[in-house]
Amino acid sequence: GQSLEQPSEVTAVEGAIVQINCTYQTSGFYGLSWYQQHDGGAPTFLSYNALDGLEETGRFSSFLSRSDSYGYLLLQELQMKDSASYFCAVTGGGNKLTFGTGTQLKVEL
Amino acid sequence: KAGVTQTPRYLIKTRGQQVTLSCSPISGHRSVSWYQQTPGQGLQFLFEYFSETQRNKGNFPGRFSGRQFSNSRSEMNVSTLELGDSALYLCASSIGATDTQYFGPGTRLTVL
């Protein structure tokens, strides 16, 4: 089976940097994705790591260590609009995404 | 390029009824996956279709079924609805296997 663990809630102030961690146990692994979901909205793709290392996309960066079964999403220069749920997801066999339970990020003034 | 579209956006049904949800993927995407999202269980994979064939299936009862047409559009059907089927049903499309999946806005199903 597959399981992913991430913190349930993170709070940070506007302009700060926040890191959301994700550890996973999987029977098949092609890559780790990150999605953002605002209340009432659909998950929006943020980043994907298939290989070890850091991927940077604007204010968002994602890191993967396959040997440690660990990844993180780094959000810089936090803005109020970044308040949302963030999910890590493993791409396993076929095109199946297994999602973590999600991290609720609250950005405060 | 237009994104993933899902119809209807909202649906109210009663127990025992059946429902069909529709998903149109991004143009050129051949893989369509379906997910159920509930507060208690989170985002769970239902099934995935590629070139009209179901390639992968999650742990849901046989009441949940789907199909894909030659134009890559997909439908999912839930028969004999139960209260616990109330959820946001999300469709995601990707170009092929293990590619990035892009989600539609979802269909919010309420079963009374």
pLDDT at A106: 97
Q: Which residues pair with A24 in a beta bridge?
A: A4
Instruction: Report pLDDT digits (tens) over B27-86.
Output: 999 999 999 999 988 999 999 999 999 998 999 999 999 999 999 999 999 999 999 999
CA dihedral B108, A60, A94, A39 (to 10 degrees): -10
The answer to whether residue A94 scores a pLDDT higher than 90 is: no
Section A42-63 average pLDDT: 94
Q: Which residues of B are less than 8 Å from A33 in CB distance? A: 100-101
pLDDT at A53: 97
- Is the dihedral angle over the CA atoms A78, A79, A81, A83 positive or is it negative? positive
Element (H, E) at A54: strand A53-57
Contact A98 B45 (CB under 8 A): yes
The answer to whether residue A95 scores a pLDDT higher than 80 is: no
How confident is residue A91, by pLDDT bands cut at 50, 70 and 90?
Answer: confident
The answer to whether residue B97 scores a pLDDT higher than 70 is: no
pLDDT at B98: 65
At residue A78, the 3 state secondary structure works out as coil
The answer to whether residue A1 scores a pLDDT higher than 80 is: no
Query: In this complex, which of B31, B56, B103 lies closest to A93 when CB atoms are compared?
Result: B56
**Phi-psi label, residue A102: left if phi above 0, alpha if psi -120 to 50, beta otherwise:** left
Section A43-49 average pLDDT: 94
Element (H, E) at A55: strand A53-57
Instruction: Report pLDDT digits (tens) over A54-78.
Output: 999 899 999 999 999 999 999 999 9
Contacts of B41 by beta carbon, 8 Å cutoff, 6+ apart: none
Q: Which residues pair with B74 in a beta bridge?
A: B23, B68
Do residues B31 and B49 touch, judged by C-beta distance below 8 A? yes
Determine the length of chain B: 112
Distance CA B21, CA B6 (A): 8
Query: In this complex, which of B33, B35, B98 lies closest to A31 when CB atoms are compared?
Result: B98
Query: In this complex, which of A41, A44, A94 lies closest to B48 when CB atoms are compared?
Result: A94
User: How crowded is the C-beta side of A97, counted as CA atoms within 13 Å?
Assistant: 34
Contact A91 B55 (CB under 8 A): no
Do the bridges between strand A9-13 and strand A103-108 make them parallel or antiparallel, or are there none, so unpaired?
parallel
The answer to whether residue B12 scores a pLDDT higher than 90 is: yes
